[in-house]
Amino acid sequence: MEGVADASMRRLLTNQGGFDLCISEFIRIVDMKLPTRVFYRSCPELHNECKTEAGTPVRIQLLGQEPNWMAENADRAIRLGSHGIDINFGCPSRTVNKNKGGAALLREPESIYQIVKKVRETVPSCQTLSAKMRLGWDCKSRCVEIAQAIEEAGANELTVHARTKEEGYKPPAHWEYIKLIKDSTTLNIIANGEVWNKDDYIRCQEVSGCDDIMIGRGAVTIPNLAQHIKGAPIMPWADVIRLMIDYGGFETLGDKEKYFPQRLKQWFKYISKQYPESEPLFTEIRSIKETQHIVQMLNEVNKNNNSHVLTRTLSVS
């Protein structure tokens, strides 16, 4: 998730447990082999055997339309330590699409085939080559054709976001089309889209026929969603506040401080879907631009939460 699942968020969420693999934010490939610093900046986990602090493997995702340059950069990512390569054919961003990247390529299955084939020729067979796609640009009629092109080009895995580009993120997700793709290929298919809680997870598995599910926005909405799916209770609001404080600590290192206010406000938009308690606090911080002011407010809320717990404990005693 571009602009959401950065290294700090990956660290935060995988520390809650339950994840088998993380995909990095995409690295945009145009017409050159990018310097190593770009890969380390996008995926600092490369310094740790390409694993998060919790030990969750990270796979670097590339986005681009030129097969040779995609292959060159895939080779560099693998040599740096990425756990396989993922190729993005699903991003619906207008900026990305107008430059013939992401979901724009869904209109050209042959171009998708050429990109995957060239990357597969470069990435060793012992490494996983995966792709992510949507069901099409504005209709779903070619979804099987696209998936089969990815398979024939040599990919091992395919994550399917169960909407077209034009459908964006509007509910519902059409999981039944994932089942159609799964029945038409031998790829390991991973279902994605509209999995916000454990019930969604179970229904997605039933409808798509997939054992493996990729959770995106849902993981940001319920920070322990992966563990919740495995039976843990949903994380209480007080613990979410503490996570936000931790996130502030990660994001204010180095030159990232300037991005923290916007990143946190973006996170709040997801959090509010599960935690209505977040709305008053979001209203307060919405107009604040100074990182330290926001962190101070979060610490104050955390302090008050702890005081309430102590008061209740003393009352019971």
pLDDT range class, residue 291, cuts 50, 70, 90 = confident
Question: Fold identical between 7-228 and 237-316?
Answer: no
Cβ distance 163 to 134 under 8 Å? yes
Three-point CA angle 146, 83, 14, nearest 5°: 100
pLDDT range class, residue 126, cuts 50, 70, 90 = very high
> Is residue 309's pLDDT more than 70?
no
Three-point CA angle 57, 59, 63, nearest 5°: 165
* N-terminal to C-terminal alpha carbon distance within the chain: 47
Domain chopping of the chain, boundaries: 7-228, 237-316
Q: Using CB atoms within 10 A of its CB, is residue 126 exposed (0-12), middle (13-18) or buried (19+)?
A: exposed
Residue 110 CA, chain-centre distance (Å), reads 26
CATH architecture of 237-316: Up-down Bundle (1.20)
Cβ distance 60 to 25 under 8 Å? no
Here the tokens at position 242 are 């503490």
CA–CA gap between residue 214 and residue 69 (Å, rounded): 27
As a whole number, mean pLDDT of residues 10-16 equals 95
Does the pTM of the predicted model rise above 0.85?
yes
As a whole number, mean pLDDT of residues 197-212 equals 97
* For residue 57, cis peptide bond before it (omega within 30 degrees of 0): no
Residue whose C-alpha is closest to residue 188's, from 207, 221, 210? 210
As a whole number, mean pLDDT of residues 166-181 equals 97
The one catalytic residue in 22, 43, 50, 91 is: 91
> Is residue 247's pLDDT more than 70?
yes
Percentage of the chain beyond pLDDT 90 is: 75
pLDDT digits (tens, 9 = 90+) for 225-235: 999 999 999 99
Is 126 labeled as catalytic in the residue annotation? no
pLDDT of residue 156: 96
Could you give the residue ranges of the DSSP H alpha helices within the chain? 7-14, 36-42, 67-80, 94-98, 109-122, 143-152, 175-184, 198-208, 217-221, 225-229, 237-251, 260-271, 278-285, 291-316
pLDDT of residue 137: 97
As a whole number, mean pLDDT of residues 123-130 equals 98
pLDDT range class, residue 74, cuts 50, 70, 90 = very high
Q: Identify the H or E element spanning 170.
A: none
- Range 7-228 classified under CATH 3.20.20.70: yes
Strand-pair category, 157-161 with 85-89:
unpaired
Average pLDDT, the chain: 91
pLDDT of residue 308: 43
pLDDT of residue 317: 38
Contacts (Cβ under 8 Å, ≥6 apart) of 104: 65, 96, 97, 98, 137, 165
> Is residue 256's pLDDT more than 90?
no
pLDDT of residue 143: 98
> Is residue 292's pLDDT more than 90?
no
Percentage of the chain beyond pLDDT 70 is: 92
Here the tokens at position 250 are 């990660």
